[in-house]
Amino acid sequence: MVFKLNSQLLSRIASGNGHGEDSPYFDGWKAYETDPHHPTENPNGVIQMGLAENQLCFDLIQDWLKKNPKASICTPEGLNEFREIAIFQDYHGLPEFRNAVANFMGKVRGNRVTYDPDRIVMSGGATGAHETIAFCLADPGEAFLVPTPYYPGFDRDLRWRTGVKLIPVDSDSSNNFKVTIEALENAYEMAQLDNIKVKGLLITNPSNPLGTILDRETLRSIVRFINEKNIHLVCDEIYAATVFSQPDFISVAEILQEDIECNLDLVHVVYSLSKDMGFPGLRVGIIYSYNDAVVSCARKMSSFGLVSTQTQYLVASMLSDNEFVEKFITESKRRLAARYRVFTHGLDQAGIKCLKTSNAGLFLWMDLSGLLKEQTVEAEMELWRVIIHEVKLNVSPGCSFHCLKPGWFRVCFANMDDQTMHVALSRIKTFVNKEADTKKKPKKSLRWQGSLKLLNPPRIYDDFINSPHSPMPHSPLVRARN
């Protein structure tokens, strides 16, 4: 006899859809997983362009590992340290790990700032770091302001288990999606009118999905804003080392060193090695807070998502090699810049424009509004379905990033080899040319009429809404954030 599970027997989290897999972001992943591209075994499969992963410098990592076998306790050379590392379980983390991470964070930021290892709190990727920060700073029903477009996973990371709300701060393509004080003030005032207590502002610098950085004056205005409102500032800086051209990245830590009035207890940084080093699978997330109470609480909460001591030991050894770190940072930027130039040139040949202010990240913010039948979210979704199922490219539609203007798509370019990139560009060119020819003929609707669902969330994100990640075991979706 088969019994049907009564959802009333489960918690709200277990029976709800808060983690979310019913969104365009996730549907794209599902299309890729069911028909993945392979150069010989499945050349007509879906190419994964929805994964913000840095795979351009793994040869440097592999060379270092070959030259430093003692860095791993699972090699004959490192076996002597196995026992001590295997039994270590202090949630403060290995001292050499915290020292190495603090040193690396400084190098990534041009050694213009230094970080205190005692303020380093480890977490299971940036996903865990963001949730921990949300738990520390806000109670259920309270809110964070988040400038749009923003990474879809924030809806899960900050909200799913915490009960915290996210309030979008709208930006406009007319000024390249810049964060303005006017927009921040408006979102803050609207929250107050709705009797929602705003506890903080979350910014992503460099931006995902825009690939842009915040300039010094914008950062200073943001710091003044949160200080005036007496709310927290959470700075996601996980793409700090991916800035591949001028202007240079400016960390909030640099602003705090300047002559500016700010209560340091309000400022917190989220970092990880997933993007800058290309290590999403190692689950190395970092919270760096200037608030002693937050450091203390976050460290206790980190017991629920520690970085394994084996990983700490390896990372500490690698990041303590200053010569290697300098070489890696420089070469990674060079390769990202080269890939960016080739990819944008290919798109330009197809008549596709991207956000020109981008100089960071592992992706492009691509403007396909000219291919829409009409300037609506529904038309964007219709175009996206065609790109997924006919062009066979998994790109992410702007609506999944809460972008107000239809037609923008995020396309990742650093998670594939050169051959796959050229195949992807060829498919894009063929598609655009075909659409151009179609427009010359009598009007005809786009062909795909599948059942993928449209994400159309409210402007205040609370309780349980869709999120981009799959709970399926062994899915590469777990790599998409960290």
Task: Identify the bridge partners of residue 365 per DSSP, sorted by sequence position.
Answer: 410
CA 49/CA 420 separation, integer angstroms: 10
pTM of structure: 0.90
> What is the rounded average pLDDT for all residues in the chain?
90
**Residue 478 binned pLDDT confidence (cut-offs 50, 70, 90):** very low
CA 236/CA 257 separation, integer angstroms: 18
Strands (E), 36-88: 47-48
170 is catalytic: no
Active-site option among 25, 151, 239, 290: 151
**Lowest mean pLDDT, pick from 18-27, 227-236, 252-261, 341-350:** 18-27
Question: 3-state DSSP call for residue 270?
Answer: strand
What the block records as the tokens of 239 is: 């793409």
pLDDT on residue 19: 72
Q: How many CB atoms lie within 10 A of CB 359?
A: 20
- Tell me the C-alpha to C-alpha distance, in Å, between residue 191 and each of 136, 142, 165, 367: 21, 10, 11, 31
pLDDT on residue 4: 58
pLDDT on residue 21: 67
Strands 143-147 and 198-204: parallel
First to last CA, the chain: 42
Is the pLDDT at 425 greater than 80? The verdict is yes
Instruction: Identify residue 404 by its one-letter amino acid code.
Output: L
**Lowest mean pLDDT, pick from 34-38, 128-132, 435-439, 460-464:** 460-464
- Structural domains for the chain: 24-58+326-432 (3.90.1150.10), 72-322 (3.40.640.10)
Active-site option among 47, 203, 238, 255: 238
How crowded is the C-beta side of 288, counted as CA atoms within 13 Å?
Answer: 23
Find out whether the peptide bond into 149 is cis, omega within 30 degrees of 0: yes
Active-site option among 30, 165, 199, 275: 275
238 is catalytic: yes
For residues 230-255, give the mean pLDDT.
98
453 is catalytic: no
Active-site option among 155, 236, 367, 462: 236
pLDDT on residue 477: 39
236 is catalytic: yes
pLDDT on residue 405: 96
Residues sharing a CB contact under 8 Å with residue 179, sequence separation 6 or more, in sequence order: 147, 169, 171, 203, 214, 218, 222
